[in-house]
Amino acid sequence: MSSASKPTLCGAIFDPARKQAELDRTEALVSAPDFWNNPEKSQKLLQERKRLEEGINRAKEVSVFVDDIDTMFELGREGEDIASDLAREVTRFRARLRVLEDSMLLSGENDAKSAILNIHPGAGGTESQDWAEMLLRMYLRWAERKGFKAVITDQLEGEAAGIKSATVEIDGENAYGLLSSEVGVHRLVRISPFDSAARRHTSFASVFVIPQIDDDIKIDIKPEDLKVDVFRASGAGGQHVNRTESAVRFTHLPTGIVVQCQNERSQHKNRASALKQMKARLWEFEMDKRRAEEKKLEDAKADINFGSQIRSYVLAPYRMIKDHRTKLAIGDVDRVLDGDLDELMHAWLVFKKTGKLAGDGKDDLPE
């Protein structure tokens, strides 16, 4: 790899020179004596500075990788045995490039924000409710792998097993942009653990994601438009049962939007969390109305049934996960259900940006 190719790689993709010039201008504004006169503007400038610094650091990181690999090639030309070291370094470089590419693909207005995730089972009773709980575990493990903070703010248990619904706040950079790949209906095919005849069952659950709205975005909620109910939080029993009316439910009367939070023992904390969710839901409600005519918002309200799924998880008669949008198929089902969603999310981001399929374009999974 010649040295002449390195500026092209870093310059064309990461453009460190332009980012450095922008950072210099931002630093001059941050250093101005009147910088803190407008706190909202100041916070945005600090966020912009952080974004530029991260972009410059990414370019430097890629340059270091390229230099290291270039050095290995030189050693190889001199007769050194570098095959295993080179393979290991290329694997690391490829994995890091995928992360960097994701960060570049996440260029939407709210992609960098934290997210609020909702999971609902489809028709099918215990089967679908158990599947919804499996999805909840998958996303909690995904957040853990990413180093994100995930808090279940509301969860309604199923009668026999699983959950009837769950709401999770996931805090982390690009959480919304990444999780937007999960919006839609998820289909599970397996031998049912609840069927004494050990027959194969198909279950459905839907996932919906909205961005957490920053405090500097003003959402006007009139007190008279908000109905507030307090109740005792439900739980699995024992020490988890809340003996006081700490759970909170907000109903926005003009729109009919309902949110609730019961994970905290403090009613004050539950109110704060519910209000944050309500602001996010109202913001999304307004965005839905604006984007409806342009048809840019994905239909997250599809029937939770056959023909509407975005992804199938087949555990029997064979084991495979296939995304029906990108056509990407993965055989290691356990790895994905344990939270390793990076490959699926990356394929969706590339497909959304370029229309490029990750798989062969065929959908040959069992009904």
Exposure string over 129-139, b if 16+ CB within 10 A, otherwise e = bbbbbbbbebb
Average pLDDT (291-301) is 49
Pairing of strands 309-314, 184-191: parallel
Phi, psi (5° rounding) for residue 201? -125, 150
The pLDDT of residue 192 is above 80 = yes
Task: Please give the CATH topology (third level) of the domain spanning 115-215+297-354.
Answer: Alpha-Beta Plaits (3.30.70)
pLDDT digits 0-9 by tens, 23-60: 899 999 999 999 888 887 888 888 788 878 877 887 78
pLDDT digits 0-9 by tens, 206-224: 999 999 876 556 677 888 9
If phi > 0 it is left, if psi is from -120 to 50 it is alpha, else beta; for residue 159 that is alpha
Q: In angstroms, rounded to a whole number, what is the distance separating the alpha carbons of residues 81 and 217?
A: 57
Confidence band for 261, pLDDT divided at 50, 70 and 90: very high
Confidence band for 132, pLDDT divided at 50, 70 and 90: very high
Task: Tell the burial category of 181 from Cβ atoms under 10 Å away from its Cβ (0-12, 13-18, 19+).
Answer: buried
* Per-residue tokens: 275: 């209000």
Domain residue extents for the chain: 5-105, 115-215+297-354, 223-292
pLDDT digits 0-9 by tens, 62-112: 888 888 888 998 888 988 888 888 888 888 888 778 777 777 788 787 898
Examine domains 115-215+297-354 and 223-292 and report if their fold is the same. no
pTM reported for the whole predicted model: 0.69
Architecture (CATH level 2) of domain 223-292: 2-Layer Sandwich (3.30)
Q: Which CATH class is domain 5-105?
A: mainly alpha
**Max Cα separation, the chain?**
79
Place of tokens 């965005």: 287
Sequential DSSP letters for 253-289: TTTTEEEEE-SSS-HHHHHHHHHHHHHHHHHHHHHHH
Q: Using alpha carbons, select from 73, 91, 77, 95 the residue that is nearest to residue 5.
A: 73
Q: Calculate ∠ Cα 268-269-272, nearest 5°.
A: 90
